[in-house]
Structure 1
Amino acid sequence: MPAKGAALGLPAASALVIGSIIGTGVFALPAALAPYGPVSLVAFGAVTLGALALALTFGSLSRRVPASGGPYVYAREAFGEFAGFLNAWSYWITVWAGNAAIAVAWVGYVEVFVNTGHRTWTSVLIALTGLWIPAAINLTGVRNSGAFQVITTVLKFVPLLFMATVGLLFIDPANFGAFNASGRSVPGAVSAAAAIALFSYLGLEAASVVAGRVREPGRNVPRATVYGTLVCAVIYVLGTLAVFGTVPHGELASSTAPFTDAANGIAGGSWAGDAVAVAAVVSGIGALNGWTMLSAEMPYAAARDGLFPAAFARLRGRGGVPVFGIVSSTLLASLITVFSYTRFEDVFTKIVLLSVLTAVIPYLFSAAAQLHWLLVRGREGIAPRRLARDVTVAALAMAFSYWSIQGSGYQTVYYGLFVLLLGLPVYVWLKRGQARGAARSAPVEPAAGDRAARAPETPPSLPPALFRPRRSRSGGPRRQGLGHRD
């Protein structure tokens, strides 16, 4: 992004990471994990370690390439344009599909106050409202969306901090139920639960995606990524443990607002649960605000390089708002929300698994890009101890990504692979357009028989500079280095 768009300092960048990670997903997660039983807490611990490895990897990559685009620019730098396109395409799907999942979970807490009968089309209308309010905020500019992100991040921490501290004092072991309630083997249950739990950490790369809008990105992006993920990890694990221990297992699996039920059980009345529900509603809007920003930033970075439709690179207004990216992503999230409510019973889990799979692909490429840089391109300038540490962390991040794909399930991998491969015709169309443009601008080479006849037309006495090829309006060939936009 242009320097004038660097409107996010360290607090706002950290709030973007925390706000993107902590949405309504964590508020709905205990109910989604309940069918597996307490074994899912083991999965949560493993996912937390994997998320920290990813955060460290993204932090290191963002120091090396402090440009907007995150996983897209890392893959393009390491493996070329096609890999960059696949990552941009996959991540873009993650964002709008993930927004639909956040909106569905958000509805569960809004319906603590309205539509308590859970009428389907009323729920759909509430979800669509939750998607378009953040879109409207983002359309006003990055400064407004950044300020909104800080406010909602502070507000959402209150109930989560309460459950992660006071809630632990009210745990009743009888509420946990059978350790493995899934009927699968323990390793199988852990893998399946981990695929769902990973959704709660999506967004840890948020600061790297908008690096071009962050002041001093080489310094602030890594700090925001690692510190934000650490804070969320502590809150997540302790808060989920408290909910498992304060809500009976049989009730938790069918709950649409598990943190509200837990707060009501602790306080012995509905006021505490209502307060948690209000915080969850604020949290959801904040998360959707951050993810809506990401939904436009990744396509913008790719479109600037000719690897996404040009409409995504057009900016409007003084702050440089990527209007097309915001509107198109919100429209797609709206469509998948309506489709899911009318086709699936477990709406949240279905969308979560799809968005997790499409997010893990860019995570996998990012870990591979880090290994490629460490082992192939840059190892000479790194101390052996640091090299061993960074390689170990990147290898763990890669192994964790593979494990997450395996745990997503065959159906999710099928749908995820299908939507990923839908990008191939788009890539061919983009490259065909570039080839046509290059053909129109290329000089026509005369036939071999005409060269001798045309040669005398060039007076040998004229200065050689007059016969140099004319440069393009932009001043020459486009630079290929990453980060030239920033």
Structure 2
Amino acid sequence: MKKTEGGPLPGVAAADDTTAAGGTAPRAEKGARLGLPQATALVVGNIVGTGIFLLPASLAAFGTVSILAFGIVTLGALALAVVFGRLGRRIPASGGPYAYAREGFGEFPGFLNAWSFWITAWAGNAGIAFAWVGYVVYFADAAFGLDWSSVPAQVVIGLTGLWIPALINLAGVTKMGAFQLVTTILKFAPLIFVAIVGLFFVQADNFGPFNATDGSWIGALSVAAALVLFAYSGVESASIAAEKVADPERNIGRASVYGTLACAVLYMLGTVAVFGTVPHDKLVDSTAPFADAINAMFGGSAWGVVMAAFAIISGIGALNGWTLLVAEMPMAAARDGLFPKMFTRMRGGNVPWVGIVVGTALTSVTFVLAFAAENAFNTILLLAAFTTVVPYLFSAAAQLFWLVTGERQVGRKKGLGWNLTLAVVALLFSFWMIFGAGGDAVFQGTLMLLAGIPVYIWVKASRGEYGPRETTRMTGELR
């Protein structure tokens, strides 16, 4: 019988006060790496998907309190980005939040984090695809007069949009990185245009009430913030793909902060511009708010068609990056014996093809089922927000743990107070996001987390590992 311990990750050496933890990422495969531009593009590309293109319509239902929510969540996201950068220096291991939870708290918490993030990745992709389809339908109608609004047509479009990025990822890291960089550049241009030019067309009457709900503004703020969090999910992307990032000890932190800062500016200005150019009553029911905003600025529908085209490109880019993460997380956990071994199977040396195929298949099922739910986009976003926050919370807790105990220190012990403050802010922010996700999302997400326990038992039993047990020779009792 094997006995397992919650020791250091294989291949990651413990750090002292002057040496960076781990050196290079464990089990790094030979081949191409993502440099700082590509790693930053991965972060930006995963943060900026189609969610932001539809999010203003969802937030409008809560009122302009959503703008305040955006500001608060932006500060929390930046704190998380810095924390992930610090953690990436301590443990430059593939899997990011999973690796931090496992190293800090043991195997089972590590497994729960990997399982939670895996749910986030494939369920969140369904949300991205759902919003992406709306822009494809808008574009087809406005540009070519095609009516693709029927449910069967939308299902076919969405499934096509999910499997194209899967094929790109299966083609290799180099092609995936190049595609991510190109789509990131293309998606930024129109969003920046609306975010800056739109400010000159803002009219105060368009903003609507501060609280458009029947409840308190505090409740509206919390739920709106949880929705906004989904728009920032992806801040951890570079840390999860650490094995494929060049010089991960430096570039994970820089890519995380640079990418999040760029998205923060874009998000805040873009949201204000859309709220101020599209009348509130129209925005609430919009399926393409950025297209409606640019049409409101210049009249007609031609500009909206252009915006819809860029939203389509943005969605494909986001799905491309998240498809990589769908495979990277279970691969890292499987290598440590916490996920089924099949997720370690590679193609071409560094393409985890099983994770890509299985993850995309689960996303496809979730996407199809979403059409049977009312307000499916918000439902998926809130569920994904909860399962996203669980790894965020454990990552912030791991950083706090290592700062307080003095373990896994990197560099000199300077800035301890600042790092402690950031870790506490990230931890409290994560708790607030769990509250904001709402009872239904927390209940459903908890059930999905608990569903992973039988998987954990099966994987451990199949390896003959039954956990640490202590016996006493004097009494022969198990304790």
Asked whether the two chains share a fold, i.e. TM above 0.5, the reply is: yes
2-structure distance, mates of 1:413, 1:179: 26
2-structure distance, mates of 1:329, 1:117: 27
**Hey, what does 1:334 align to over in structure 2?**
364
**Hey, what does 1:361 align to over in structure 2?**
390
**What does 1:187-266 align with in structure 2 at a 5 Å threshold?**
187-266=218-297
| 1:4 Cα offset (Å) | 1.2
| 1:357 Cα offset (Å) | 0.5
| 1:399 Cα offset (Å) | 0.4
**Hey, what does 2:326 align to over in structure 1?**
295
1-structure distance, mates of 2:410, 2:54: 46
1-structure distance, mates of 2:397, 2:411: 18
The answer to whether 1:64 aligns with 2:90 is: yes
Tell which structure's C-alpha radius of gyration is larger.
1
Q: Could you tell me whether the CA contact under 8 Å between 1:63 and 1:217 is conserved in 2?
A: yes
Q: Could you tell me whether the CA contact under 8 Å between 2:148 and 2:154 is conserved in 1?
A: no
| 1:271 Cα offset (Å) | 1.3
| 1:378 Cα offset (Å) | 3.1
Name the SS of the counterpart of 1:179 in structure 2: coil
2-structure distance, mates of 1:381, 1:246: 48
The answer to whether 1:106 aligns with 2:135 is: no
Indicate the larger mover: 183-192 or 130-139: 183-192
Which amino acid is 2:76 matched to? Answer: G
> 1:389-414 CA distances to partner (integer Å, 9 max, x unpaired)?
00100100000000000011111111
1-structure distance, mates of 2:416, 2:46: 30
The answer to whether 1:310 aligns with 2:341 is: yes
Which amino acid is 1:391 matched to? Answer: L
2-structure distance, mates of 1:121, 1:324: 28
**Hey, what does 2:185 align to over in structure 1?**
154
**Hey, what does 2:207 align to over in structure 1?**
176
Ranges in structure 1 where 5+ consecutive residues have no aligned partner: 439-486
| 1:380 Cα offset (Å) | 8.0
> 1:154-203 CA distances to partner (integer Å, 9 max, x unpaired)?
00011110111101100011001111101221111110100101110000
2-structure distance, mates of 1:353, 1:68: 26
The answer to whether 1:420 aligns with 2:449 is: yes
Q: Could you tell me whether the CA contact under 8 Å between 2:79 and 2:422 is conserved in 1?
A: yes
The answer to whether 1:145 aligns with 2:171 is: no
The answer to whether 1:323 aligns with 2:349 is: no
Q: Could you tell me whether the CA contact under 8 Å between 1:6 and 1:212 is conserved in 2?
A: no
**Hey, what does 1:376 align to over in structure 2?**
405
Q: 1:320 to 1:36 in 2, by over 3 A?
A: same
- Quote the RMSD (CA, aligned, Å): 1.5
The answer to whether 1:386 aligns with 2:412 is: no
Query: Once the two structures are aligned, what percentage of the paired residues are identical?
Result: 58
**Hey, what does 2:381 align to over in structure 1?**
352
**Hey, what does 2:71 align to over in structure 1?**
45
Q: Could you tell me whether the CA contact under 8 Å between 2:402 and 2:409 is conserved in 1?
A: no
> 1:305-330 CA distances to partner (integer Å, 9 max, x unpaired)?
0010000011112x421111000000
> 1:232-264 CA distances to partner (integer Å, 9 max, x unpaired)?
000000001100000010011111100000011
Q: Could you tell me whether the CA contact under 8 Å between 2:129 and 2:161 is conserved in 1?
A: yes
| 1:381 Cα offset (Å) | 7.7
The answer to whether 1:74 aligns with 2:100 is: yes
Q: 1:382 to 1:142 in 2, by over 3 A?
A: closer
Which amino acid is 2:215 matched to? Answer: R
2-structure distance, mates of 1:388, 1:410: 35
1-structure distance, mates of 2:344, 2:397: 27
Q: 1:117 to 1:304 in 2, by over 3 A?
A: closer
Which amino acid is 1:434 matched to? Answer: R
Q: 1:68 to 1:6 in 2, by over 3 A?
A: farther
Q: Could you tell me whether the CA contact under 8 Å between 1:5 and 1:212 is conserved in 2?
A: no
Q: Could you tell me whether the CA contact under 8 Å between 2:62 and 2:211 is conserved in 1?
A: yes
**Hey, what does 1:55 align to over in structure 2?**
81
1-structure distance, mates of 2:158, 2:42: 22
Which amino acid is 1:253 matched to? Answer: V
| 1:435 Cα offset (Å) | 1.4
Q: Could you tell me whether the CA contact under 8 Å between 1:124 and 1:338 is conserved in 2?
A: yes
TM-score (norm 1): 0.88
Q: Could you tell me whether the CA contact under 8 Å between 1:131 and 1:288 is conserved in 2?
A: yes
| 1:42 Cα offset (Å) | 0.5
Q: 1:385 to 1:274 in 2, by over 3 A?
A: same
TM-score (norm 2): 0.89
> 1:201-243 CA distances to partner (integer Å, 9 max, x unpaired)?
0001000000111111111111000010000000000001100
Ranges in structure 2 where 5+ consecutive residues have no aligned partner: 1-26, 141-145, 468-479
1-structure distance, mates of 2:276, 2:131: 21
2-structure distance, mates of 1:110, 1:285: 11
Q: Could you tell me whether the CA contact under 8 Å between 1:69 and 1:210 is conserved in 2?
A: yes
Structure with more of its chain in helix, by fraction? 1
**Hey, what does 2:429 align to over in structure 1?**
400
